[in-house]
Structure 1
Amino acid sequence: MATSSNTPLPQDDGLWMFLQSRGIPEENIQKMQQDHIDRSVVGEIDDATMTAYIPAYGDRIATRRFCMEKQRKGGDDLKRLSLFEKLRRKLGTLTSNKDADQDFEEEHSMQPTKMHLRNNKRAMKMTRKIELGWIHNKKQVRKRNGGGTRVLDISKKATKTEILSQAKKLFFPNEKSRKGKWEEFSHSIVDFQEAYLDEGVSVGELYETQKLGILRFYLFTEHLTNGDEVFTETTEGTDEQTDAASVNERQKNTTEDNKQMTQKPHDSEQQTHTVEAFVSTAVEIVDLTSLCDTSEVIFGPLQGGPFLEDLDDTILHEPIEEAQINIDANSSTTVHSDTVSAGPLSPPYELLHVTVKLHRVNLLEELIIQFKDEAMMSYTVKYSFIHEMGADADGVSRDVYAAFWTEFLDCAAEGADVRVPSLSPKWQEEEWKSVGRIMVKGLKDHGYFPSRLAQAFTAAITFGEHTVSPDLLFDSLMLYLSQSERDLLSTALQDALDGDDKDELLDLMDRMGVRTVPTQENLKAVLLQVAHKQIIQQPKYALDNIAAVAGPTLREFFPSVLDMQKMYEDLKPSTRKVLRLITASPATPAENQSLRFLHQYIRGLDEIGLRKMLRFVTGSDVICIKDIQVIFTPLEGLSRRPIAHTCGPTLELPSTYNSYPDLRAEMGAILSSNFYAMDIA
């Protein structure tokens, strides 16, 4: 019986509807159904046979392509269905095949039931790795003595008893070891904190609570005394408390010993106070009869060796010749003579000097931090610059103070030829007192004083505000102002101004805070008020704090204002003074010629140039040395240049200059660079 077109074969997958859409006669479609020609066999029938069912050639091609696409999609669907089944089976959600599900569950019954642990291999394992060591008579046994650290797999359910059994097999094979027989010792298991392990706690539970990557345990043994019995578990009651207390006491002693024996590494990039000390030789008698044959006696500091807990017996030999105190660059630490100690048995030492290491690029802030410590005033201080080789024999110290005050007056002060401090929110009482200590320290140790500081301000620091005379105040104001403002005021004091000059004077008075129009008669009085405001009143907070620490010492150096003014005059460089400092012994005409060129160069310098010349040769931009020694070198070509040794101070001058312009060009290039580095050790 023919199959109706309304009841297509199961595998038609739309084939009959496709043929109808192509206009194939209904009887041809019914004939294909009767002959069971569906999409699975269309590709196997030759074209001549297909003509009986589908007469048109184009329809036959379209039908073959339709069947090919259906077969391809059907294969993908089966593959996709298979993947979904596997995924459902893995997730435990497949319910269509109960037998398969039951087999799957039985096969994976040992796996964790929590979804987030199904792919965790460590969670599926029933063992965990542990480290096992041996502590005998409160000392860790090293590998060569039969100890060391062993790594082994052990069941997660293992407790103290199983761990003790494993330790016995490892460290006491055949119940013997290099320390003795198993029955000669008491034995137990302690954890990495040397606390006795509870009997009922398993390894898995310890991993859950400790959250460590790998747990470490120790076989803890001690020699038995007469009447003692071997124990393999923790005693109860009072004995347990006593043992725990002894372990805690041992841990405390070990920690204290380690703190005394461990030294903090030295960081060359940090500022460092180096305290050099001499100690007398101390001979100690050490009884070594109690040491067993396998113990080590090590003399010397522990540098690069094993950890302290790995050593059997260590005797420290500590002859202290130089002790160092590391000071953070952004902190202030008080340094006292009793803070540097060689240990409890070390003899007293004599303090020689303190060395401060500084970064040249951050010298201002770092030096202020260091001098917040009042104890710095009682030390002999030497300086060094990080990444520079220069050793301090006064030259580096002069360079430090000159660099500090140059940066201070440029960045933290106001004025032209002379300046006064400018208040800053970041500098409070401690910072300004530190500036005062730096001022005093430079003057006491090296005769350096910042001569660009206004004399009226220095007089107020040293003797008080009431000692500042009107003339000194007025002179300081004139140097405080720029050259153009100075010329304007000088003209206004002598003659009446008009036109642009008068407007410029009024503008200057307005900038100085004057709210009245001055006349020629009262201009001097107005300027004195302005001077008092600019030089005394505005920096009053800095003045008071600097005076609190520097005033008494400054009065020792110059007891009166006249003595202070004389000091300023002596420090100020001039052509005659600098030439007078030069000492040389030329032995050849070439050396005589180079020396004449040097004198000629110095005569052509202004005050700023003279300060730079002194800074290059002596480290200081003021005259605080007695002479400058000039020696001659045969350098020529590209290597020819003047070389300064600030500690002498000594200037190495090439004797190969053929003309003055050669020396002027090379010396000018050095002084105009404004960069100084102590690169000669």
Structure 2
Amino acid sequence: MYVYRMDDLIEFLRMRNVPEETVEKLEQEKIDASVIELMTDEQLKTYFPSYGDRLAILGFCRQKASNRNDPNKRKSKLFERLKSKISKKSKYDDSATTSQQHTAKNAQKTMRKVELGWMNYDTENEAFKLVRTRRGGGTRKVDVSKESKKSDLIQQAVKLFFADGKSPEGDITEFEVDLKDYKEMSIDEDITVGKLYADTRLPLLRFYLTTKKRSNSGSHMQQEIDVALTTQELNSSPTKMPAERSGNTDNTDVVYIGSNMEPEMPFLYSTEIISSTLDENALDDSNTVTFDTGDTGDIFNVDDQILDDTLPLSPLNTIAHSEQIKRILVVHRGHVLPELIAHFLDESMLGCEIKIQIIAPDGKLERGHDEGGVVRDCLSEFWNEFYEQCTMGSSFKVPFLQHDFGQMHWESVGRIIAFGWKKEKYLPVKIAPVILEQAAFGSAKSDVIENFLKFVPESEQAFFEAWRSDFTTVDKEELLEVLDGHSCRKTPTENNAEEILQELAHKKLIQEPAFVIEQWANMLSTAISHLDEISSVYENLQPTVRKVLRALSFPENMNTQQREIQRYLTAYLRESGTQGLSRFLRFCTGSDLFLGKTIVINFTQVQGFQRRPVAHTCGCVLELSVFYDSYPDFRSEINKVLECNVWVMDFI
């Protein structure tokens, strides 16, 4: 039987972090017991019934007893521990010396190794995101001069991640670039790599090339509209209109409204704005009216003969005259969406005669004269951008609410719908028809479920169609997963398909866009209320091969070459899908929808490098060369023109 020392036992328990109350209990036992120093196995069992615990205690107490009996052994262990500490200190001193030698060696180098990475701006999360290796990113190690600065590192990174100026994310010219350090802070322009190594003391520096698309979209819609409004206000100052810009001299008033125009492009306020600043006593003996423009302090003198045609003095005549005002809206290619919305924030737009002029990407005014074609082209570009940035859905779209797109913006979009229908019979056919019906008539006339099936992706549409026709063939788990994505709270059965789909469709197409529908109701209830069925109008506007072929008008007397080109064009249209027909219509008429325009085909003798299809959208005229060797030659050339999507109206 082994006898334990109470002091050893208590020391062991404190080392093992045993609860303090147990240790105190043993100390009290030591005080109360007649045998203060010792404890037997039987006594130990009462405290530690586990045999394993007692074995651990036994080993510890025997070791302590051995050390007490052999003091030399204990001293030797102390010496070993001391020697170990001394050796560790020696190793540390050696490593410090080596590190100092390595630092001194690096200081003598003219080149240093750095790591370069690439971070691209994620518009959804509004943060820079590291580009992975499979997308052309990753981390690259390169040797650079210690005197290299920010511009040198950016140039090196662009060569790595944008070979020949291109990458999977886009062309380098499309991005704003910057360079950030390992803390994702922008680098100072004048600091060198050597200075950064000296300041940071890091063994290897890492830099990130950051890229961000130059053009704003999506969640930055409000910022673009604000910019368009600001430039409108800055440039919309009264001035005299040069004869070369005025167009027809018999027009009553012309109001240019735009932004970032060339210096010679004038901007005129509407008649009612100018006449409101006119002083009744401004008419002097020289039959000239003088009026002040306000803050600018500019004074304009207008002959009274001109005044008769431009500034009627009676309020009644002013109201009647304002209906004849022609407003020319100026927009930029690529920014039609925010700029057109900014223009139509003005409620009086629908009461004016509106024409549009477009500024090309190079900053110059396109020379196309608007006789309908420019308006159609602008509407097509506007709605294509709107579908991408402001809606969700597959074949049919539903407006998507954004925090920076408020009531006045949705009202502006409603005015654009009304303007497009009034001016060119153009409707946004990708917006679910039940939404326009709800806004125009106060109730949905189309089948809500059919609209919903065209709103969801094709894969979900197939599941819902199968559920409606034969429930036994549907994968139940996947159907539940699809319904869960639409927040459905009912279990699908063989008999409740129509009920659930009706509820989901009403929620998605009527309830969720209710705010947008409310803003559109005032405009659409008067603009398109006369239509019996919007769905039938949608069908008429959709381009088909039969409609487009019937719209073509060829010369009555054609020679053999011309008839061959006619066959080429007919074959090309017959093998084109809906998207190809839309591109063809937009190229010829300005509109990507079928508006019933007759497309006149003219033949030319152009050949060689100058040969190409030429369209006049105002008159809906298409000019085709007769010098094509084969149909593939014709198809290849017209495809290149239609698929480039960069059409500039460069002649009148």
Q: Compared with structure 1, are the counterparts of its residues 505 and 591 closer, same or farther at alpha carbon in structure 2 (3 Å cutoff)? A: same
Matching residue's letter, 1:494:
S
- Contact kept, 8 Å, 1:270 with 1:326, in 2: the verdict is no
Task: Write the deviation string for residues 41-61 of structure 1: whole angstroms up to 9, x where unpaired.
Answer: xxxxxxxxxxxxxxxxxxxxx
Q: Compared with structure 1, are the counterparts of its residues 627 and 274 closer, same or farther at alpha carbon in structure 2 (3 Å cutoff)? A: farther
**Per-residue deviation, 1:510:** 0.9
**Per-residue deviation, 1:502:** 2.2
Tell me the residue number matched to 1:407: 385
Tell me the residue number matched to 2:552: 582
**Per-residue deviation, 1:329:** 7.5
Task: Write the deviation string for residues 500-555 of structure 1: whole angstroms up to 9, x where unpaired.
Answer: x3222112111111022211210111011111111111111111101122222211
1:74-153 matches, cutoff 5 A = none
**Pick from 493, 496, 500: which aligns with 1:522?**
496
**Pick from 556, 561, 572: which aligns with 2:542?**
572
What is the distance in 1 between the residues matched to 2:550 and 2:578? 16
Asked if residue 555 in structure 1 is aligned to residue 526 in structure 2, the reply is no
**Pick from 486, 506, 509: which aligns with 1:512?**
486
What is the distance in 2 between the residues matched to 1:457 and 1:438? 16
- Contact kept, 8 Å, 1:275 with 1:355, in 2: the verdict is no
**Per-residue deviation, 1:352:** 4.9
Tell me the residue number matched to 2:410: 432
Matching residue's letter, 1:640:
R
- Contact kept, 8 Å, 1:271 with 1:356, in 2: the verdict is no
SS in 1 for 2:308: coil
- Contact kept, 8 Å, 2:252 with 2:325, in 1: the verdict is no
What is the distance in 1 between the residues matched to 2:381 and 2:612? 23
What is the distance in 1 between the residues matched to 2:518 and 2:497? 29
**Pick from 329, 338, 341: which aligns with 2:272?**
338
Asked if residue 479 in structure 1 is aligned to residue 454 in structure 2, the reply is yes
**Pick from 603, 610, 632: which aligns with 2:581?**
610
SS in 2 for 1:361: coil
Task: Write the deviation string for residues 441-465 of structure 1: whole angstroms up to 9, x where unpaired.
Answer: 111011111111111111111111x
**Pick from 450, 468, 480: which aligns with 1:493?**
468
What is the distance in 2 between the residues matched to 1:667 and 1:547? 42
Q: Compared with structure 1, are the counterparts of its residues 494 and 619 closer, same or farther at alpha carbon in structure 2 (3 Å cutoff)? A: same
Tell me the residue number matched to 1:655: 626
1:217-232 matches, cutoff 5 A = none
Tell me the residue number matched to 2:339: 366
Tell me the residue number matched to 2:97: none
Q: Compared with structure 1, are the counterparts of its residues 320 and 383 closer, same or farther at alpha carbon in structure 2 (3 Å cutoff)? A: closer
1:116-195 matches, cutoff 5 A = none
Percent identity between the two aligned chains: 31
What is the distance in 1 between the residues matched to 2:358 and 2:487? 43
**Pick from 316, 327, 349: which aligns with 1:354?**
327
List 4+ stretches of structure 1 deviating above 3 A.
267-279, 319-330, 333-336, 340-346
- Alignment TM-score, normalising by the size of structure 1: 0.50
SS in 1 for 2:392: strand
What is the distance in 2 between the residues matched to 1:320 and 1:492? 62
- Contact kept, 8 Å, 2:235 with 2:258, in 1: the verdict is yes
What is the distance in 1 between the residues matched to 2:549 and 2:238? 38
Q: How many residues align?
A: 366
Matching residue's letter, 1:452:
K
Instruction: Tell which structure's C-alpha radius of gyration is larger.
Output: 1
- Contact kept, 8 Å, 1:273 with 1:355, in 2: the verdict is no
- Contact kept, 8 Å, 1:335 with 1:375, in 2: the verdict is no
What is the distance in 1 between the residues matched to 2:463 and 2:444? 25
Matching residue's letter, 1:421:
P
Tell me the residue number matched to 1:593: 564
What is the distance in 2 between the residues matched to 1:680 and 1:668? 22
- Contact kept, 8 Å, 2:232 with 2:259, in 1: the verdict is no
Task: Write the deviation string for residues 251-303 of structure 1: whole angstroms up to 9, x where unpaired.
Answer: xxxxxxxxxxxxxxxx9998769999999xxxxxxxxxxxxxxxxxxxxxxxx
**Per-residue deviation, 1:629:** 0.4
Matching residue's letter, 2:379:
Y
What is the distance in 2 between the residues matched to 1:495 and 1:320? 65
Q: Compared with structure 1, are the counterparts of its residues 665 and 327 closer, same or farther at alpha carbon in structure 2 (3 Å cutoff)? A: closer
Task: Write the deviation string for residues 368-425 of structure 1: whole angstroms up to 9, x where unpaired.
Answer: 0110101111111110111222221110000011111111012101111111111111
Matching residue's letter, 2:503:
Q
What is the distance in 2 between the residues matched to 1:524 and 1:394? 45
What is the distance in 1 between the residues matched to 2:233 and 2:648? 17
Tell me the residue number matched to 1:4: none
What is the distance in 1 between the residues matched to 2:492 and 2:456? 18
Tell me the residue number matched to 1:177: none
**Pick from 390, 396, 400: which aligns with 1:422?**
400
**Per-residue deviation, 1:326:** 5.4
- Contact kept, 8 Å, 2:583 with 2:592, in 1: the verdict is yes
Q: Compared with structure 1, are the counterparts of its residues 275 and 493 closer, same or farther at alpha carbon in structure 2 (3 Å cutoff)? A: farther
What is the distance in 1 between the residues matched to 2:418 and 2:238? 22
- Alignment TM-score, normalising by the size of structure 2: 0.52
- Contact kept, 8 Å, 2:397 with 2:432, in 1: the verdict is yes
Matching residue's letter, 2:464:
L
Matching residue's letter, 2:460:
E
- Contact kept, 8 Å, 1:278 with 1:321, in 2: the verdict is no
Tell me the residue number matched to 2:444: 468
1:50-65 matches, cutoff 5 A = none
What is the distance in 1 between the residues matched to 2:235 and 2:622? 30
Asked if residue 390 in structure 1 is aligned to residue 368 in structure 2, the reply is yes
Task: Write the deviation string for residues 336-372 of structure 1: whole angstroms up to 9, x where unpaired.
Answer: 4222467456423354511111011111111101101
Q: Compared with structure 1, are the counterparts of its residues 487 and 324 closer, same or farther at alpha carbon in structure 2 (3 Å cutoff)? A: closer
- Contact kept, 8 Å, 1:358 with 1:383, in 2: the verdict is yes
Asked if residue 442 in structure 1 is aligned to residue 420 in structure 2, the reply is yes
What is the distance in 2 between the residues matched to 1:656 and 1:566? 41
- Contact kept, 8 Å, 2:367 with 2:651, in 1: the verdict is yes
Tell me the residue number matched to 2:150: none
- Contact kept, 8 Å, 1:634 with 1:656, in 2: the verdict is yes
**Per-residue deviation, 1:674:** 2.5
Matching residue's letter, 1:413:
T
What is the distance in 1 between the residues matched to 2:630 and 2:558? 19
Matching residue's letter, 1:487:
A
What is the distance in 2 between the residues matched to 1:324 and 1:459? 34
Q: Compared with structure 1, are the counterparts of its residues 633 and 271 closer, same or farther at alpha carbon in structure 2 (3 Å cutoff)? A: farther
For structure 1, which segment, 397-406 or 514-523, has the greater mean C-alpha deviation from structure 2 after superposition?
514-523
- Contact kept, 8 Å, 2:588 with 2:615, in 1: the verdict is yes
SS in 1 for 2:330: strand
Root-mean-square deviation (CA, aligned residues, Å) is: 3.1
Q: Compared with structure 1, are the counterparts of its residues 334 and 648 closer, same or farther at alpha carbon in structure 2 (3 Å cutoff)? A: closer
Structure 1 gaps, min length 5: 1-266, 280-318
SS in 2 for 1:348: helix
SS in 1 for 2:334: helix
SS in 1 for 2:581: helix
**Pick from 344, 350, 355: which aligns with 1:377?**
350
